[in-house]
C-alpha cells in the first residue's frame, strides 16, 4: 500500500514543491496553467514545423519539375534575347531551331540558335556579354559552358536543373549566302573509336584522316601508351576505355585491368587507379563491356566518385539497357553522355554505311547532336573515309566527345 501522507510530506519537503507551496493556491494554479499552455504551444509549433520540413524535403513530382523547368527556360530565353539586343544582333541573323526532348517523365524543348555576328563584334565581346548577363540575372540552378568548335566560332551550352536546354553558336558573316546556310544547318556528331591499344596499323589510318575522332583506349595493351601519346600530339581527344565485368564472362575476353562486382571498394579503387595511370592524356572514361557492372549502382557509385575527383567526364557505352551509369553520373553532377548508335556491330561494309547514314536524322531528332561508337576494323575505317564527306554535305560537323557531354 502507498502511504499517501508520507508521499505528500516528501514532495512538499523538496525545494521545488516547497517554493510552489509558498506561492499560494491561486498563483500555483496560474503557473501550472501557463506551463500547460506553453507546452501545448511548443508541441503545436513542432508539429507544424515537422510538416513543413516534410514538405520541404519531399521529392518534387514530375509535374512540378516540368513546370519549374518551363519557367527557367522562359527566363533563359529572355536573358539570351536581351544580350543579343545589346550586341546589336538583328533577328534576320538568328536561326532558331527547337527539338523535343524527353528524359523519363520530364519533357522540354531544346533550343539551338545559330547567330551571325554584326561587323566589328568579336567573339570575346560575345563571351563577356553573356557571362555578365547570366551572372546578373542570377537564375537559380543555371550553368553555362563556353567552347570554340572552330577558330572563328563560339559555342555556349546552357543547362538548368541538370537538363541541357539551349545551345548558341556564334559565327562571323560568311562570304556567300550558300556558306551561311551551311553554317545554320550544322549538326554535331562525335564518333568514338573504342578498343584501341592492340592494332597500331588501323590507328595510324584513323589518325591520317585528320578527322577529330575521340580515341577510346584500353589499358595495358601493347600500344596503349604509344597510341595515346601520338593522338595527343595531333590534338586528338583521348579517353580511357575502362574494362568492366560483363554478364556471361565466358563469352567475352576479360583482360587485365577489368573491374568486377566481386571486388570490394579498396580493390576497385586500386585497380581503377592503375588503369587510369596506364593511359596518358585522358580527359574522360568510358566503359568497355560492363553489362553486369554498370547495372550495379553501389559499384558504379564508387567508380564515378573517383572519376569525379579526377575531373574526368563519363561516357556510358550502354552495353545494357539497365545501365545506371548515365543517370547516376548526372545525379552526381558529373559531366556525362551516352551512346546513341553503334556503327559496326556488323562488320560488313554495307551495314556500316547504312548505320553511318542514320546520323543526320538521328542528330536532328536528338537536339542537334548524336554520339556514335565504332571499332578499329579495316571495314570501319574504309566506310568512315567514304561516308563522312557526304555527312558533312548534309550539315554534320564531327566534334570531340567533350563538346557534347554536359
Is the same domain home to 307 and 319? yes
Give the range of the structural domain holding residue 124, as residue numbers without chain letter: 62-183
Beta-carbon contacts of residue 60 (< 8 Å; ≥ 6 apart): 68
Contact 248, 281 (CB under 8 A): no
Q: Count Cβ atoms within 10 A of the Cβ of residue 3 and give its class: 0-12 exposed, 13-18 middle, 19 or more buried.
A: exposed
Q: Does residue 393 lie in a domain region?
A: yes
Predicted pLDDT at 136: 76
Q: How far is Cα 186 from Cα 311, in angstroms, rounded to an integer?
A: 30
Cell 591520317 sits on residue: 208
Q: How far is Cα 286 from Cα 314, in angstroms, rounded to an integer?
A: 6
Q: How far is Cα 207 from Cα 231, in angstroms, rounded to an integer?
A: 7
Contact 216, 286 (CB under 8 A): yes
Predicted pLDDT at 182: 42
**Boundary of a domain, candidates 144, 166, 183:** 183
Is the same domain home to 175 and 198? no
Q: Does residue 85 lie in a domain region?
A: yes
Predicted pLDDT at 179: 40
Q: How far is Cα 375 from Cα 194, in angstroms, rounded to an integer?
A: 5
Is the same domain home to 341 and 389? yes
Is the same domain home to 205 and 312? yes
Q: Does residue 152 lie in a domain region?
A: yes
Cell 563556353 sits on residue: 146
Q: What is the CA radius of gyration of the chain?
A: 31
Q: How far is Cα 345 from Cα 210, in angstroms, rounded to an integer?
A: 24
Is the same domain home to 216 and 344? yes
Is the same domain home to 269 and 397? yes
Q: Does residue 29 lie in a domain region?
A: no
Of 360, 395, 402, 361, nearest to 178 (Cα)? 395
Is the same domain home to 154 and 236? no
**Boundary of a domain, candidates 125, 149, 183:** 183
Q: Does residue 54 lie in a domain region?
A: no
Output the nine-digit C-alpha cell for 366: 536528338
Q: Using N-to-C axis directions, what is the helix angle for 15-22 and 4-13, rounded to 10°?
A: 90
**Boundary of a domain, candidates 183, 218, 244:** 183
Q: Does residue 38 lie in a domain region?
A: no
Sign of CA dihedral 69, 73, 74, 79: positive
Beta pairing partners, 111? 98, 166
pLDDT tens per residue, the chain (406 residues)?
A: 555 555 555 544 544 445 545 555 566 666 676 777 777 777 777 766 666 655 555 566 767 777 888 888 888 888 898 888 888 888 778 888 888 787 777 888 888 889 988 887 888 888 888 888 888 767 777 888 888 877 678 899 998 888 889 999 998 876 444 443 443 457 899 999 999 999 999 999 999 998 999 999 999 999 999 999 999 999 999 999 999 999 987 656 667 899 999 999 999 999 999 999 999 999 999 999 999 999 999 999 999 999 999 999 999 999 999 999 999 999 999 999 999 999 999 999 999 999 999 999 898 888 789 999 999 999 999 999 999 999 988 889 999 999 899 8
Contact 320, 291 (CB under 8 A): yes
Predicted pLDDT at 51: 61
Q: Does residue 311 lie in a domain region?
A: yes
Predicted pLDDT at 58: 57
Is the same domain home to 197 and 319? yes
Q: Does residue 202 lie in a domain region?
A: yes
Beta pairing partners, 147? 155
**Structurally, how many domains does the chain consist of?**
2
Task: Summarize pLDDT for 237-290 with one digit per residue, the tens.
Answer: 999 999 999 998 765 666 789 999 999 999 999 999 999 999 999 999 999 999
Predicted pLDDT at 263: 96
Is the same domain home to 381 and 322? yes
The stretches of 234-280 forming alpha helices (DSSP H) are: 265-278
Is the same domain home to 380 and 239? yes
Cell 536532328 sits on residue: 364
Sign of CA dihedral 378, 379, 382, 385: negative
Phi and psi at 341, nearest 5°, equal -155, 135
Predicted pLDDT at 178: 42
Q: How far is Cα 37 from Cα 29, in angstroms, rounded to an integer?
A: 12
| CATH code assigned at 251 | 3.20.20.370
Cell 574494362 sits on residue: 243
Predicted pLDDT at 160: 86
Is the same domain home to 163 and 193? no
Phi and psi at 214, nearest 5°, equal -100, 125
Q: How far is Cα 330 from Cα 32, in angstroms, rounded to an integer?
A: 57
Contact 159, 134 (CB under 8 A): no
| CATH code assigned at 156 | 3.30.460
Predicted pLDDT at 177: 42
Q: List the beta strands (DSSP E) in 73-213.
A: 94-103, 106-116, 142-147, 153-160, 163-171, 187-196
Output the nine-digit C-alpha cell for 115: 547567330
Is the same domain home to 294 and 355? yes
Amino acid at each position: 500500500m502507498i502511504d499517501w501522507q508520507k508521499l505528500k510530506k516528501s514532495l512538499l519537503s523538496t525545494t521545488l514543491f516547497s517554493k510552489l507551496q509558498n506561492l499560494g493556491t491561486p498563483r500555483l494554479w496560474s503557473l501550472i496553467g501557463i506551463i500547460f499552455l506553453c507546452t501545448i504551444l511548443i508541441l503545436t509549433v513542432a508539429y507544424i514545423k515537422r510538416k513543413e520540413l516534410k514538405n520541404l524535403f519531399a521529392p518534387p513530382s514530375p509535374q512540378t519539375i516540368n513546370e519549374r523547368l518551363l519557367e527557367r527556360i522562359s527566363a533563359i530565353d529572355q536573358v539570351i534575347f536581351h544580350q543579343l539586343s545589346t550586341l546589336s544582333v538583328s533577328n534576320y541573323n538568328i536561326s532558331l531551331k527547337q527539338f523535343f526532348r524527353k528524359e523519363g517523365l520530364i519533357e522540354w524543348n531544346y533550343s539551338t540558335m545559330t547567330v551571325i555576328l554584326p561587323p566589328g563584334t568579336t567573339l570575346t565581346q560575345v563571351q563577356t556579354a553573356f557571362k555578365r548577363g547570366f551572372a546578373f540575372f542570377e537564375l537559380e540552378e543555371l550553368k553555362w559552358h563556353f567552347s570554340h568548335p572552330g577558330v572563328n566560332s563560339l559555342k555556349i551550352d546552357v543547362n538548368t536543373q541538370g537538363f541541357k536546354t539551349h545551345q548558341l553558336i556564334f559565327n562571323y558573316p560568311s562570304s556567300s549566302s550558300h556558306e551561311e546556310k551551311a553554317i545554320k544547318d550544322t549538326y554535331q556528331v562525335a564518333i568514338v573509336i573504342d578498343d584501341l591499344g592492340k592494332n597500331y596499323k588501323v590507328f595510324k589510318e584513323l589518325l591520317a584522316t585528320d578527322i577529330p575522332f575521340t580515341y577510346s583506349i584500353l589499358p595495358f595493351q601493347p600500344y596503349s601508351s604509344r597510341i595515346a601519346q601520338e593522338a595527343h600530339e595531333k590534338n586528338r581527344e583521348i579517353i580511357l576505355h575502362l574494362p568492366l565485368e560483363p554478364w556471361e564472362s565466358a563469352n567475352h575476353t576479360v583482360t587485365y585491368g577489368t573491374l568486377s562486382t566481386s571486388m570490394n571498394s579498396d580493390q576497385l579503387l586500386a585497380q581503377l587507379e592503375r588503369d587510369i595511370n596506364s593511359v596518358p592524356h585522358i580527359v574522360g572514361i568510358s566503359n568497355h563491356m560492363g553489362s553486369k557492372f554498370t547495372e550495379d549502382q553501389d559499384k558504379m557509385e564508387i567508380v564515378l566518385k573517383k572519376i569525379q575527383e579526377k575531373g574526368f567526364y563519363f561516357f556510358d557505352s550502354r552495353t545494357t539497357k539497365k545501365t545506371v551509369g548515365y543517370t547516376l553520373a548526372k545525379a552526381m553532377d558529373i559531366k556525362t553522355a551516352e551512346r546513341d548508335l553503334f556503327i559496326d556491330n556488323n562488320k560488313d561494309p554495307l551495314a556500316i554505311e547504312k548505320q553511318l547514314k542514320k546520323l543526320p536524322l538521328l542528330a536532328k531528332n536528338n537536339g542537334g547532336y548524336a554520339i556514335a561508337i565504332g571499332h578499329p576494323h579495316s571495314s570501319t575505317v574504309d566506310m568512315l573515309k567514304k561516308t563522312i564527306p557526304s555527312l558533312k554535305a548534309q550539315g554534320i560537323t564531327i566534334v570531340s566527345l567533350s563538346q557534347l557531354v554536359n
